[in-house]
Chains A and B, each alone.
Chain A
Amino acid sequence: MSTVKLVAVFSENKPGQLERVTQLLAGSGINIQWVTIATSETFGVIKLLVDRCDAAFNLLKENGFTVSLIEVLAVEVQDQPGGLHTVAEALLRHHINMQNASGFVSNNRAVLLIEVKDLEQAKAAAVTAKLHLLSPEETLRL
Chain B
Amino acid sequence: MFWDQEIETLPRPELEQLQLKRLRKTVRKVASETVFYRQKFAETGFKPSAIKSLADLRRLPFTTSADLRANYPDGLLIKGGHDLIRLHTSSGTTGKPKALFFSRKDIDQAAENIARCLTMTGLGKQDILQNMMTYGLFTGALMVHYGAEKLGLMVIPSGPGNSEKQLLLMQDFRTTAIHLTPSYALYFADFIEKRGVDPRKDLALRKAYIGAEPYTEETRRKIEAALGVEVYNCYGLSEMNGPGVAFECDAKQGMHVWEDNYLMEIIDPQTGEPVPDGQTGELVLTSLCREAMPILRYRTRDITAIIPGPCPCGRTHRRLQRITGRSDDMLIVRGANVYPQQIERILMSIPGLGRNYLICLEGLDEMIVKVELSDASFDGQVEHLVKLQSQITEKLRAEILVRPKVELVMPGSLPASEGKAKRVIDKRIL
| With A10-B373, A64-B412: A47-B407 Cβ-Cβ less than 8 Å | no
Please measure, in the bound complex, the distance between the C-alpha atom of A27 and the C-alpha atom of B144, giving whole angstroms: 50
Min C-beta distance of A84 to chain B, whole Å:
23
Output the least CB separation between B19 and chain A (Å). 55
Inter-chain contact B381/A40, CB cutoff 8 Å: no
* Residues of B with C-beta under 8 A to A128: none
Determine how close the nearest CB of chain B comes to the CB of A82; give it in whole angstroms: 30
Residues of chain A within 8 A of B410, CB atoms compared: 10, 12, 64-66
Q: In the complex the two chains form, is B385's CB within 8 Å of A40's CB?
A: yes
Pairwise interchain contact B378-A68, C-beta atoms closer than 8 A: yes
Decide: A66 and B385 in contact? CB cutoff 8 A: no
A49-91: CB near B (< 8 Å → 1, else 0) gives 0000000000000001111111000000000000000000000
Query: Per-residue CB proximity of B401-415 to A under 8 Å, as 1/0?
Result: 000010111111100
The answer to whether B412 touches A40 (Cβ under 8 A) is: no
B382 at the interface (CB under 8 A from A): yes
Contacts of B411 in A (CB 8 A): 64, 66
CB under 8 Å from chain B, chain A span 6-65: 6, 8, 10, 12, 38-40, 42-45, 47, 64-65
Q: Is the CB of A43 within 8 A of B408?
A: yes
Give residues of chain B (360-384) contacting chain A, Cβ–Cβ below 8 Å. 373, 375, 378-383
Q: Which residues on the A side are within 8 Å of B253 (C-beta)?
A: none
Residues A99 and B382 in contact, CB atoms below 8 Å apart: no
Contact indicator B378/A40 (Cβ below 8 Å): no
Does A42 lie within 8 Å of B407, measured CB to CB?
yes
List, in ascending order, chain B residues with CB within 8 A of A10's CB: 373, 378, 385, 408, 410
Q: State the main secondary structure of chain A at its contact with B.
A: strand
Q: Are A42 and B383 in contact (CB under 8 A)?
A: no
* B380:A40 contact, CB within 8 angstroms: no
Pair A66/B383 contact, Cβ less than 8 Å: no
A69 contact set on B, CB distance < 8 A: 380
CB distance from B352 to the nearest CB of A (A): 11
Chain A residues whose C-beta falls within 8 Å of the C-beta of B225 in the assembled complex: none
* Nearest Cβ on chain A to B382's Cβ, whole angstroms: 4
Known contacts A64-B410, A66-B411; decide if A38 and B373 are in contact (CB<8 Å).
no
Q: Tell me which residues across on chain B come within 8 A of A6, comparing CB atoms.
A: 380
- Asked if B386 is at the interface (CB within 8 A of a chain A CB), the reply is yes
Cβ contact of B380, chosen from A39, A42, A43, A47, cutoff 8 A:
A47
Residue B389 is within 8 A (CB to CB) of chain A in the complex: yes
Contact in complex: A40, B389 (CB < 8 Å): yes
Asked whether, in the complex, the Cβ of A45 is within 8 Å of the Cβ of B409, the reply is: no
- A66 in contact with B375 (CB, 8 Å): yes
Residues in chain A near residue B382, CB distance under 8 A? 38-40, 44-45
How many angstroms between the C-alpha atoms of A64 and B412 in the bound complex?
Answer: 8
A44 vs B408: C-alpha distance when bound (angstroms): 10
Give which listed residue, A12, A42, A68, contacts B379 with CB less than 8 A: A68
Given contacts A40-B389, A66-B410, A70-B379, 12 further A-B contacts (CB under 8 A): A6-B380, A8-B381, A10-B410, A38-B382, A42-B389, A43-B409, A64-B410, A66-B373, A66-B375, A66-B378, A68-B379, A69-B380
Going nearest first, the 8 A-B pairs with the smallest beta carbon separation are A8-B380, A38-B382, A70-B380, A68-B380, A45-B382, A42-B407, A66-B378, A68-B378
| 13 intermolecular pairs with C-beta atoms under 8 Å apart | A6-B380, A8-B381, A10-B373, A12-B410, A12-B413, A38-B382, A40-B389, A43-B407, A43-B409, A66-B373, A66-B375, A69-B380, A70-B381
